[in-house]
Amino acid sequence: MFIAQKLYLKLKRKYIISFLAIVMLLLFGGTAYTLNSQIGRIDSVDVRQGEYSKHSYYSPVKDEFISPQEIISNPEQTTGGDPGFRRFFGTSPNAPDFELPKYDLTKKDFSEKPSAYAAYWLGHSSAIIELDGYRILIDPVFDNAGPLPVIAKRMSVSPLQREEMPDIDIVLITHDHYDHLEKETIAFLADKDIQFIAPLAVGARMKGWGVPKDKITELGWDEIATHGTLSITAAPTVHYSGRSYNDRNKTLWASYVIKGKNKNLYWSGDTGYSEHFKEIGRKYGPFDLAFIEIDGWNKGWPNTHLFPEEVIDACRDLNTRLLFPIHFSTFDLALHPWDESIAIVADLAAENNLEIITPVMGEKVIPGITPTTRWWISP
> What is the tens place of the pLDDT at every residue in 175-192?
999 999 999 999 999 999
Radius of gyration of the chain (CA): 23
* pLDDT single digits (tens) 71-129: 999 999 999 988 888 888 888 899 998 889 999 999 999 999 999 999 999 999 999 99
SS (H, E, C) the chain: CHHHHHHHHHHHHHHHHHHHHHHHHHHHHHHHHHHHHHHCCCCCHHHHHHHHCCCCCEECCCCEECCCCCCCCCHHHCCCCCCCHHHHECCCCCCCCCCCCECCCCHHHCCCCCCCEEEEECCCCCEEEEECCEEEEECCCCCCCCCCCCECCCCCCCCCCHHHCCCCCEEECCCCCCCCCCHHHHHHHCCCCCEEEEECCCHHHHHHCCCCHHHEEEECCCCEEEECCEEEEEECCECCCCCCCCCCCCCCCCEEEEECCCCEEEECCCCECCCHHHHHHHHHCCECEEEEECCCCCCCCCCCCCCHHHHHHHHHHHCECEEEEECCCCCCCCCCCCCHHHHHHHHHHHHCCCEECCCCECCEECCCCCCCCCCCCCC
Distance (Å, whole) CA 117 – CA 288: 11
pLDDT per position as a tens digit, 154-165: 999 999 999 999
Residues 296, 327 contacting (CB under 8 angstroms): yes
Q: What is the pLDDT of residues 191-222, one digit of tens each?
A: 999 999 999 999 999 999 999 999 999 999 99
Give the per-residue pLDDT at 227: 98
288 has a pLDDT exceeding 60: yes
**Per-residue pLDDT for 6 more than 80?**
no
What is the pLDDT at residue 16? 57
pLDDT band, residue 26 (cuts 50/70/90)? very low
Phi-psi region of 260 (alpha: psi -120 to 50; beta: other; left: phi over 0): beta
Domain boundaries, the chain: 2-39, 107-365
What percent of the chain stands above pLDDT 90? 84
Q: Which residues pair with 261 in a beta bridge?
A: none
Residue 28 predicted with pLDDT over 60: no
- pLDDT at site 22: 52
Residue 47's identity, in one-letter code, is: V
Q: Is the pLDDT of residue 379 over 70?
A: no
Q: Is the pLDDT of residue 145 over 70?
A: yes
Which amino acid is located at 4 in the chain?
A: A
pLDDT in the model for residue 88: 85
Dist. CA 166–CA 128, nearest whole Å: 10
What average pLDDT does the structure give for the chain?
92
Whether the predicted pLDDT of 264 surpasses 50? yes
Of 94-98, 283-287, 313-317, 357-361, the range with the lowest mean pLDDT is: 94-98
Q: At what angle do helices 308-318 and 340-351 cross, to 10 degrees?
A: 50
Q: For the residues 245-250, what does the mean pLDDT come to?
A: 96
pTM above 0.85, yes or no: yes
Q: What is the pLDDT of residue 208?
A: 97
Mean pLDDT value across residues 143-159 = 92
Q: How far is residue 274's CA from residue 272's CA, in Å, rounded to a whole number?
A: 7
Give me the CATH code for the 107-365 domain, please. 3.60.15.10
Which residues have a Cβ under 8 Å from the Cβ of 155 and sit 6 or more positions away?
Answer: 92, 95, 96, 100, 329, 330, 331, 332, 338
Are 203 and 171 spatial neighbours (Cβ–Cβ below 8 Å)?
Answer: no
Nearest to 174 by CA among 296, 263, 60, 271: 271
For residue 202, what pLDDT is reported? 98
Q: So what's the pLDDT on residue 23?
A: 47
Bridge-based pairing of strands 255-259 and 230-235 is antiparallel
